[in-house]
């Protein structure tokens, strides 16, 4: 599993921006920036939709006021699902990033196999990334939502 001080591995993601599919890579997203990242097991799932994403939407301005260039939500879903989920929660201040095949999630060791539920998914976590290097990492225990929330990240900035 990636640790504090570790550099994010190279990966390609998908995101819909203004109706156009883009495929940014790790370098484009994280080089020379301070980025808050949070990951969820799945878009439109109960805890993710009721608490995790809404917390970051509500606190986006306060988080960015602490010198954060971008707030990224990652899920092992496709870009169309991530876009729809973001729109349904007014997440215009966030980048809704799809790790469609789970390659990034697996490469940082924060994946879990949910079997018939959905296959490979992300463990719930949040992190602060400075110029591609992880400076803070909050990983949830299975079934928990206690340390990866927006309030915790705001306090850590």
29-70 pLDDT, tens digit per residue, is 999 999 999 999 999 989 999 999 999 999 999 999 999 999
Annotated catalytic residues are 48
**Beta bridge partner(s), residue 20:** 17
Chain segment 84-110, per-residue pLDDT in tens: 999 999 999 999 999 999 999 999 999
pLDDT, position 55: 98
Given this model, what pLDDT does residue 114 score?
80
Does position 118 have pLDDT exceeding 80, yes or no?
no
- Residue 54 Cα distances to 24, 26, 94, angstroms: 24, 25, 11
Euclidean distance between CA atoms 125 and 111, whole angstroms: 10
Fold adopted by 15-156: Glutaredoxin (3.40.30)
CB-based contact 66:101 (threshold 8 Å): no
Residue 78: per-residue pLDDT: 96
């Amino acid at each position: 599993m990636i640790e504090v001080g570790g550099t994010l591995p190279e990966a390609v993601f998908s995101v819909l921006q203004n109706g156009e599919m883009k495929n940014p890579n790790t370098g484009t997203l994280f080089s020379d920036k301070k980025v808050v990242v949070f990951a969820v097991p799945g878009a439109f799932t109960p805890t993710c939709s009721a608490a995790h994403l809404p917390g970051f939407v509500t606190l986006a301005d306060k988080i960015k006021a602490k010198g954060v260039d971008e707030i990224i939500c990652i899920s092992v879903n496709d870009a169309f699902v991530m876009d729809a989920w973001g729109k349904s929660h007014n997440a215009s201040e966030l980048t809704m990033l799809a790790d469609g095949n789970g390659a990034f999630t697996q490469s940082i060791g924060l994946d879990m196999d949910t079997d018939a539920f959905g296959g490979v998914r992300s463990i719930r976590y949040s992190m602060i990334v400075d110029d591609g290097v992880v400076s803070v990492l909050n990983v949830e225990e299975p079934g928990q939502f206690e340390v990866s929330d927006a309030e915790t990240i705001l306090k850590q900035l």
